[in-house]
Amino acid sequence: MARIAGVDIPNDKRVVISLTYVYGIGLATSKKILAAAGISEDVRVRDLTSDQEDAIRREVD
């Protein structure tokens, strides 16, 4: 599981949905975060590279 903002997000879901497990991030915000990080919404969390995870963390923080 990837850890974003202190929350373990599910590996088996698409990253756009998994980000909504973080308090304060809804679907619209999740899409904005991924667009800013340059990551496709259809990627599964388990398929993210460490660089992509870091890009998401930078956008969330």
Kindly report the pTM of this predicted structure. 0.88
Residue bearing tokens 């879901």: 13
Domains annotated on the chain, with CATH: 2-60 (1.10.8.50)
Per-residue pLDDT of 38-54, as tens digits, reads 999 999 999 999 999 99
User: Containing H/E element for 9?
Assistant: strand 7-9
Average pLDDT across the chain, whole number: 94
Token pair belonging to 2: 């990837």
Instruction: Check residue 41 and give its pLDDT.
Output: 93
Amino acid residing at 35: A
41-54-14 Cα angle (round to 5)? 25
Tokens of 56: 């998401």
Provide the terminal-to-terminal Cα distance of the chain, rounded to the nearest Å. Answer: 19
Structure tokens at 55: 């890009």
